[in-house]
Structure 1
Amino acid sequence: MNPRFRIDADGLGRVTFRDPARRQNVLTREVVEVLAGVVEEAEEAARGGSLRSLILESAQPGSFIAGADVNAIAAIEDRQAATEASRAGQALFGRIAALPVPTIAAIRGICLGGGTELALACDYRVADDDDRTRIGLPEVLLGILPGWGGTTRLPGLVGLSAALDLMLSGRPARVSKARRIGLVDRVLPRQQFEERCLALARGLARGKSPRRKRRRALAGRLLDGTPPGRVLVLRAARRQVLKRTGGRYPAPLKILEVVRRGRGRSLAERLELEARAVGELAVSPECKNLLFVFQLREAARKGPWAVGGRAAEVDRLAVIGAGPMGGGIAQVAAYREIPVRMKDIRHEAVAGGLAFARSLFDGAVRRRSLRPREAARRMGMITGGVDYAGVGCADVVVEA
């Protein structure tokens, strides 16, 4: 059973995740259902006095929890269903946060998305000093936001600036950074990790509270800890998002909105803002397209035949970037009689790409693989410009 729950004679409980069928632990629907049962057992044991502290850990090499099941997210087509899925995850992690015994997330390896949100629901987070261990919230890269309490709990733990950096970039943090910003409370040697975690849990069971170091610079305290400072942080973050995305991606802007509107509200109200935002984003075309790209990339890692199915027909192609590479890609497509639109920010680059494609067709004529009239006809299938006209109707867009 994944996860597995056990309690020793000293009242130390351990929830251990391990999925032998996967390379990394993932919070699939089945795993979440088992975890809900485990939490119920832990609640009963805590009330009965047999559970005095709890460790959430992984026996999967190189993986704490890599996040939620992306395929399950991609399958959601209904806004209300997405909102309810977020509420269910929030409720489960809320029960973990409300356990009347100390809880520790023992992080070794990859800890992303729902795995990080699970860790945030614990009282303490410890990580090993392995350079491969990473902790982050990459949901924004999939067109959504942390929907199981992440937008609510993270700012209160690490401060607004650090929380926005993690959520808006989607970049996972190394352990050194996680420790510096307060995302983890302790970094333990990997050779002694399990032993030290058990010692910490037993100390907590005896009522011993470890000291937490929160050394933050004065400027950071002023920005994150005062209303005017928080306004400045949110405004600066919004400017950066708009500069980077042009406002075309709703997820980072929605993260800022949820965090801004949640200030001063109750935990329940903040979680509801988060859940409703998940409902909006999960069914958006941006999210669906980013999830599809992620699935293709993951399938490609498994080998050229892993994607399966029949290749889609491509009737129109767009190429972003019109240098020699863009011109070469355009010529290959036009040679196969696929209309191509090249786009660049400079007219000179577009002209250069068209000239390069024409030179390739001229070479085909010299080699007598094409007649001059046929080469001219296929060259006519390539157009270019500095705007996005014609790009939106393409079946495939290639960045050159």
Structure 2
Amino acid sequence: MSAIQYEKNADNIIILTLDSPNQSANTMNGDFRVALENIVSKLKSETDITGIIFKSAKKTFFAGGDLDELIQAQPEQAPEFFDMIQKMKAEFRYIETLGVPVVAALNGTALGGGWEIALGCHYRIALNDPKAKFGLPEVTLGLLPGGGGVVRMVRLLGLQNAFPFLMEGKQFGVDKAKSLGLIHDTAETAEELFDKAIAWVKANPKSQQPFDVKGYKIPGGTPSSPQVAQVLAIAPAMLRDKTKGCYPAPEAIMAAAVEGAQVDVDTALTIESRYFTFLATGQISKNMIGTFWHGLNAIKSGASRPKDVAKWQATKVGVLGAGMMGAGIAYSTAIKGIQVVLKDISTEAAEKGKAYSQKLLDKRVSQGRMTAEKRDQILSLIHPTASNEDLQGCDLIIEAVFENQELKAKVTQEAEQHLVNGGVMASNTSTLPISGLAKASKDAKNFIGLHFFSPVDKMQLVEIIKGKETSAETLAKAYDYVQQIGKTPIVVNDSRGFFTSRVFGTFVQEGLRLLAEGVNPARIEMAALKAGMPVGPLAIQDEVSLTLSEHVTSETRKALQAEGKDLPRSGADDVIHKMIHEFDRKGKAAGAGFYDYPEGGKKHLWDGLSHWKKDTQISEQEMIDRFLFVQSLDTLLCLEEGVLESVVDGNVGSIFGIGFAPWTGGALQFLNQYGLEKALKRANELETQYGERFKAPDLLKQKAQSGEMIQ
């Protein structure tokens, strides 16, 4: 069966129905390209066409490019890849310039290549579906819209208006598309959608794209217009400040848009194809597609979930502790329609935790993103209390109290007796081993770790930690709950710090070690940003609080000593100790840390850090390597030790939990894309110079020797 069905009706209108065989959604794959070539060949043989309508046989209009194909495009295949893209675009351009009306009947979402097909039509009618999304999200996968999206969006909206949709991948619904003039009409039913498409074709026998009409001017002006030229003079610098040079896609999009706006449509399409080929055959898009598309989809489909356990839904969730974490968990649960009991030592403290949800929901109402009725309905699901009795009937209770084993044991024992039979008891700990915490539970097989990240309402990841006795049923229920509240679960095995806290610690510690070595603190922070980390290690340490880090290190040292092991002191420990006990600077919450926080002003590095400054000579690249290697080698060690069970969880967890440089595709993919032989050599060099924390795990040596990837 062809991916595009061709039908000519009694009015000589050609109806092209998009219907990719063996797929639930339409994509621009090999079948599609063959079908398009055949369609154009048929159209060339027709003599009496009155119009063309694109419609879809799937639930959505069109999903976009075939990412399984794109991830395989290699640099040596660039000429063939470029020719393939140019051929496909020429076929669309033939349809667009036939001189007959061309309509897109959009029955649902059209993203990426799907939106590019729609843009290639003269008139766009959409089904009035609030769930439908349109746009060009390619930049989020390290690509640009390569099917004419850059060229047509710029010509229809103007450079400045098109930039957010192209360079940030902003998606939009039917109403926004109408206000932009990108959707011309809407319909309430599929029948009306098709009838309106037919009617428009009949009413507009001679039609062409507005930008193909002689004398058409790009809205807002071309790059040579004084107003646009003024913006473009600073735009590249502003963009580089955002990307830090780690992301070639936004820069390529800006270049393709600006260059394309100065030439005719066909030349602009060629320019776009060149930039698209450069990105698609490059490594960064492969890193990002591998993790942000394939990796996240694997997790969504339950890659780390026990297969033989029935799907489960939480109906009543207890949250112990109404501080920032507990309040955030309560909000994230209630907003998905689940009843929540928010318990603290006093009703006043619990009410304060509920007020956090009120504040977030009020903001949504004020922005027009939610009705007051919906807000009140969500708030009514959160029951603040000081009584354990109110936890009766919970099928999941999450303890989110301070990181203290005795306190956690106490609240666990008080609360879990109120769980329903087979209910799950979870701890939102970031460092304490789950098997140790499970000792306080009456049934360790129903006990699990659910490590949320702060702020909970914004952070997508939840690290699920299996204790030694955690059952497959409990793991499956925890996985289902995390997905039920719209978050991304990764599954790890028990150990001190688990995966994310442990590896995150290596990044912060490396920054503190550099400071102890006498490196200028501003250079340390900038090197981390240029590595692709979202925030510098000193700024993050302030957010976490120096006292918490000191407490966790002290507890870890005590626990290891009890096992007959030791945690040697480092330059990082000395920095933390001096900051707290000599300079009384404990972090952002205390108003002073590595940064000063002037009231109403912008934070800036504290002048007193000159205490460590020796103007140590170290290159920026050396610091970047230290930041990325110390995290990726420890992540590989987590895989080798069995803390991590899958590469996907390691890559997704490192980006969404730690903020590891997204351009790399994750901490394990960083080593793959670096080249494992080269990575082994670099790790050895770093170990020789800086110590055992850079020691290459045996797994890296094995993979480098065998020529296999870490997968």
Task: Establish whether TM, by shorter chain, passes 0.5.
Answer: yes
CA separation in 1, counterparts of 2:44 and 2:168? 36
> Is 1:358 matched up with 2:553?
yes
> Is 1:140 matched up with 2:154?
no
Match of 2:626 among 380, 390, 398: 390
CA separation in 2, counterparts of 1:221 and 1:261? 16
Write out per-residue CA displacement over residues 80-133 of structure 1, whole angstroms, 9 at most, x where no aligned residue.
344233323322221221223211011121111111111121121121211111
SS of the equivalent of 1:65 reads: coil
Shift in alpha-carbon separation, 1:34–1:242, aligned structure 2, 3 A: same
Give 1:233 shift.
4.0
Match of 1:67 among 60, 64, 68: 64
The corresponding residue for 1:18 is: 19
Amino acid at match of 1:302: S
The corresponding residue for 1:76 is: 73
SS of the equivalent of 1:342 reads: helix
The corresponding residue for 1:57 is: 55
Amino acid at match of 2:242: R
C-alpha contact 2:105 2:124 (8 A) present in aligned 1: yes
Provide TM-score, normalisation by structure 2.
Answer: 0.46
SS of the equivalent of 1:64 reads: coil
Shift in alpha-carbon separation, 1:335–1:151, aligned structure 2, 3 A: closer
The corresponding residue for 1:287 is: 285
Deviates more, 1:222-231 or 1:297-306: 222-231
Q: State the aligned residue count.
A: 365
Give 1:30 shift.
1.1
The corresponding residue for 1:88 is: 87
The corresponding residue for 2:507 is: 342
Shift in alpha-carbon separation, 1:259–1:225, aligned structure 2, 3 A: closer
Amino acid at match of 2:277: G
Write out per-residue CA displacement over residues 126-172 of structure 1, whole angstroms, 9 at most, x where no aligned residue.
21211111110111111111112121122111222221121011021
CA separation in 2, counterparts of 1:95 and 1:229? 34
Shift in alpha-carbon separation, 1:331–1:244, aligned structure 2, 3 A: farther
Matches within 5 A, 1:70-219: 70-78=67-75, 79-190=78-189, 192-205=192-205
Give 1:361 shift.
2.4
CA separation in 1, counterparts of 2:271 and 2:219? 26
Write out per-residue CA displacement over residues 277-323 of structure 1, whole angstroms, 9 at most, x where no aligned residue.
112212333212111112111222222169xxxxxxxxxxxxxxxxx
CA separation in 2, counterparts of 1:326 and 1:241? 35
C-alpha contact 2:159 2:220 (8 A) present in aligned 1: no
The corresponding residue for 1:309 is: none
Unaligned runs of 5+ in 2: 211-217, 306-402, 404-428, 433-450, 452-494, 509-536, 577-593, 595-622, 636-653, 659-711
Q: What RMSD, in angstroms, separates the aligned Cα atoms of the two structures?
A: 3.6
Aligned-residue identity in percent = 23
Provide TM-score, normalisation by structure 1.
Answer: 0.79
SS of the equivalent of 1:148 reads: coil
SS of the equivalent of 2:65 reads: coil
CA separation in 2, counterparts of 1:184 and 1:301? 32
Give 1:237 shift.
4.5
The corresponding residue for 1:251 is: 249
SS of the equivalent of 1:13 reads: strand
Amino acid at match of 2:61: F
Write out per-residue CA displacement over residues 322-341 of structure 1, whole angstroms, 9 at most, x where no aligned residue.
xx887679943589998962
Give 1:179 shift.
1.4
The corresponding residue for 1:261 is: 259
Amino acid at match of 1:392: L
Write out per-residue CA displacement over residues 14-43 of structure 1, whole angstroms, 9 at most, x where no aligned residue.
111124633322111112211221122123
Give 1:53 shift.
0.8
C-alpha contact 1:333 1:340 (8 A) present in aligned 2: no
Give 1:359 shift.
4.8
Structure of greater relative contact order (alpha carbons < 8 Å, 6+ residues apart): 1
Unaligned runs of 5+ in 1: 213-219, 307-323
| Pair member with larger Rg | 2
CA separation in 2, counterparts of 1:41 and 1:254? 36
